[in-house]
């Protein structure tokens, strides 16, 4: 009798364990619904973050005792908790709207089976354990019409992507529909090059794709100039055209799951510019829904403020007064009214709450037009985090030092405080003036240009309306010393201030030699040694906010610089994480208002990381209206200068 191979036996054991794990996960999910039923009776919040932290800390400790890495255990249970939260939310949402419950829904989405919209709709229905009768549509207007006419119960509309930003066509459609937003869902977008089985990349001549994936995969496509791009109305249409082609010279950009429906295989994967690429969809229906008070909710509204100075900031101050967090602000032009814009706002609040109702009444008095598009459960589940000490990777001496520093800090007056220093700080370097009523404009670029072009580039930057240039990404450039010297010389010819961004502590000596001003990147905001070093310099310093830092942590970093002696400190808001930890950051404009109330330090807005090109004008206008002291615009291509010049001209004119 032949003995079983040891490897086969091991694999059989692993398979048996996997089956047990799946059964246990299913049982855990079932128990989480029992928890939801209990919360329905007691009207308790879905999440208890303190209990989650205690649970995670205990599991991490037990995992380490069994040889499991702390981060592995943490990541695994964060996913399990996210699944539990979303399932409890779906259950309670259904219980609160029994008249809307069916065994099967007609769903309108963009494209055909296999499109990303189809995948989003499928996962949304699977979460709620209901059937789906799908209705593919050729346009966003057709989706809306299908729901308005009653042919579909729900419509799925992509609203934003972490790589390519907001989808303006959808915002424009929402201006003119009576439908209500009743839900949202987010899916991972894994762009692949899909072709017929056996096809090789070198055979491909034509790529079919929707414009959004083409934008999101621009870096990959730029490396293949031989590809001819053909635009399609959806990813499903692109895959269908490949399936119907007579040869193997064509491919589509789409998902692995979608490609499988068209007998296509992925011959290249991970095409997107960003490693983490997600799309958020909103769900629209004819009738609004009620959101139970224990669920985290979003309210989306649109408003027109009119053209009087300070109109937008007046509206945002109402939200702040009622402690309403604005997670998204988008603007779109109003057809037929030049230079007027409609603002779209996502607020982290339940429409039925007293704060939201009072804020709406006040907004109605000061806005020209306002309309609530919907209130719905928020499906962004921010993972509960543990501190380094809870992960047991932080030395005890470090914790003691931090505690001593905190106690020392609490024992003295805060130098950044407006109460301690009533006079607003002003920083002047060459023609750049920031703070105390002065507004400065800075262009940020990577140190990759050839030195021979620096003078011409500096002239163009000056003519566009900028007073300074922020030079970044020194560490990746072996010629940084020579090129930085040439750049400083060219900028000096046009009296432009040279600001050098420090992304690594080792870059400080080089930066000091060539800069008029320094910028500490958000990644180094917690580097106390570096902050103390720049605090000892007689040179203005811009402190950029870390994407995960609170306002108090950010001001704490500024306090370290001020305490070391340097009083020429500028704060730079470059965006915080709101979608998930890897998403393109979002400008915290409400935080700008809070900073102005707390601190005398000037605050500038850096749009380079947080804004797409079509968002720059509206975000710049909002920042100026909220009394920002300066603006940073990214410059990856000199051709952007014309658009930047128009933005600056409008800001200074207003």
CB 119 within 8 A of CB 92: no
The residue whose two tokens read 């590809």 is: 227
Query: What is the model's pLDDT at position 406?
Result: 52
Q: Tell me, what's the pLDDT at 581?
A: 43
Average pLDDT per consecutive 10 residues, the chain (654 residues; last block may be shorter): 72 92 92 84 79 88 89 89 87 83 90 87 89 91 95 94 77 89 90 93 93 87 90 90 92 91 91 81 94 91 81 87 88 69 90 94 90 91 73 53 51 76 90 91 81 84 93 74 88 93 88 93 90 91 90 92 92 79 73 89 91 84 89 87 88 74
Three-point CA angle 606, 610, 613, nearest 5°: 95
315 burial via Cβ count (<10 Å: 0-12, 13-18, 19+): buried
Query: Cβ neighbours of residue 516 under 8 Å, at least 6 residues apart?
Result: 429, 430, 468, 497, 498, 499, 539, 540
In three-state secondary structure terms, 166 is strand
Q: Which residues of 347-358 are buried (b: 16+ CB within 10 A; e: fewer)?
A: bbbbbebeebee
Q: DSSP of 390-434, one letter per residue?
A: TTT-S-HHHHHHHHHHHHHHHTS--TTBTTT--SPP-EEETTEEE
Cα separation values, 269 from 118, 252, 266, 641, Å:
20, 12, 7, 34
| Residue 643: φ, ψ to 5° | -65, -40
The two beta strands, 440-446 and 131-137, are unpaired
Q: Give the whole-angstrom CA distance, residue 555 versus residue 595.
A: 9
Task: Give the per-residue pLDDT at 450.
Answer: 63
How far is the C-alpha of 232 from the C-alpha of 259, rounded, in Å? 15
Beta bridge partners of 301: 345, 372
Q: At 45, give phi and psi (nearest 5°).
A: -60, 150
Which pLDDT value is given to residue 52? 87
Element at 131 (helix H, strand E) = strand 131-137
Judged by phi (left if over 0) then psi (alpha if -120 to 50, else beta), residue 374 lies in: left
pTM: 0.60
555-587 in b/e form (b: 16+ CB < 10 A) is: bbbbbbbbbeebebbbbbbbbbebbeeebbbbb
The answer to whether the CB of 47 falls within 8 A of the CB of 85 is yes
Predicted local distance difference test score (pLDDT) of residue 208: 95
Six token digits for residue 59: 């599991």
């Amino acid at each position: 009798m032949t003995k079983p191979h040891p490897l086969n036996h091991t694999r059989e054991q692993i398979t048996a364990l996997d089956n047990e794990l799946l059964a246990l996960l299913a049982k855990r999910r079932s128990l989480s619904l029992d928890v939801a039923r209990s919360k329905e009776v007691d009207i308790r919040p879905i999440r208890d973050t303190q209990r989650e932290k205690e649970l995670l800390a205990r599991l991490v400790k037990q995992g380490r005792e069994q040889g499991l890495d702390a981060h592995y255990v943490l990541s695994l249970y964060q996913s399990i908790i996210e699944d539990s939260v979303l399932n409890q939310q779906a259950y309670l949402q259904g219980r609160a709207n029994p008249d809307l419950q069916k065994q099967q829904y007609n769903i309108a989405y963009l494209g055909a089976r296999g499109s990303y919209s189809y995948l989003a709709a499928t996962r949304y229905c699977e979460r709620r354990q209901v059937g789906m009768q799908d209705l593919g549509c050729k346009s966003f207007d057709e989706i809306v019409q299908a729901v308005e006419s009653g042919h579909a119960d729900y419509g799925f509309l992509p609203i934003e992507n972490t790589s390519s930003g907001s989808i303006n066509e959808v915002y424009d459609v929402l201006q003119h529909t009576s439908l209500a937003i009743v839900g949202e869902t987010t899916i991972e977008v894994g762009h692949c090059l899909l072709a017929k089985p056996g096809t090789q990349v070198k055979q491909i001549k034509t790529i079919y794709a929707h414009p959004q994936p083409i934008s999101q995969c621009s870096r990959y496509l730029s490396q293949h100039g031989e590809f001819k791009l053909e635009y399609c109305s959806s990813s499903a249409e692109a895959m269908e055209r490949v399936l119907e082609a007579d040869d193997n010279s064509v491919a589509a950009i789409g998902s692995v799951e979608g490609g499988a429906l068209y007998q296509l295989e992925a011959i290249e994967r991970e095409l997107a510019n960003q490693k983490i690429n997600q799309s958020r969809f909103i769900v629209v229906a004819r009738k609004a829904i009620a959101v139970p008070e224990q669920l985290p909710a979003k309210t989306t509204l649109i408003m027109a403020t009119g053209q009087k100075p300070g109109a937008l900031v007046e509206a945002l101050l109402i939200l702040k007064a009622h402690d309403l967090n604005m997670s998204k602000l988008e603007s779109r032009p109003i057809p037929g009214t030049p230079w007027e814009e409609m603002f779209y706002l996502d607020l982290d609040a339940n429409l039925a709450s007293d704060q939201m109702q009072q804020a709406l009444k006040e907004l109605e008095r000061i806005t020209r037009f306002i309309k609530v598009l919907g209130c719905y459960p928020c499906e962004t589940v921010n993972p509960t985090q543990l501190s380094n000490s809870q992960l047991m990777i932080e030395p005890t001496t470090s914790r003691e030092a931090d505690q001593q520093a905190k106690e020392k800090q609490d024992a003295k007056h805060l130098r950044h405080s407006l109460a301690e220093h009533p006079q607003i700080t002003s920083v002047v370097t060459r023609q750049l003036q920031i703070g105390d009523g002065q507004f400065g404009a800075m262009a940020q670029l990577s140190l990759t240009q050839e030195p021979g072009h620096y003078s011409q580039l500096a002239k163009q930057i000056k003519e566009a309306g900028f007073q300074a240039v922020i030079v970044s990404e020194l560490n990746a450039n072996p010629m940084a010393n020579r090129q930085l010297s040439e750049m400083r010389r060219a900028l000096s010819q046009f009296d432009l201030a040279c600001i050098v961004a420090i992304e690594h502590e080792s870059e400080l000596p080089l930066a000091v030699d060539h800069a008029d001003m320094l910028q500490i990147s958000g990644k180094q905001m917690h580097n106390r040694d570096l902050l103390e070093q720049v605090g000892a310099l007689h040179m203005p310093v811009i402190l950029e906010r870390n994407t995960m830092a609170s306002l108090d942590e950010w001001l704490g970093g500024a306090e370290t610089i001020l305490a070391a002696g340097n009083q020429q400190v500028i704060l730079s808001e470059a965006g915080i994480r709101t979608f998930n930890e890897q998403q393109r950051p979002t400008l915290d404009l409400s935080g700008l208002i809070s900073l102005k109330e707390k601190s005398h330090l000037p605050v500038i807005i850096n749009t380079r990381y947080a804004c797409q090109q079509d968002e720059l004008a509206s975000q710049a206008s909002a920042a100026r209206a909220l009394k920002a002291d300066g603006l940073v615009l990214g410059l990856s291509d000199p051709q952007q200068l014309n658009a930047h010049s128009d933005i600056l001209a409008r800001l200074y004119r207003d």
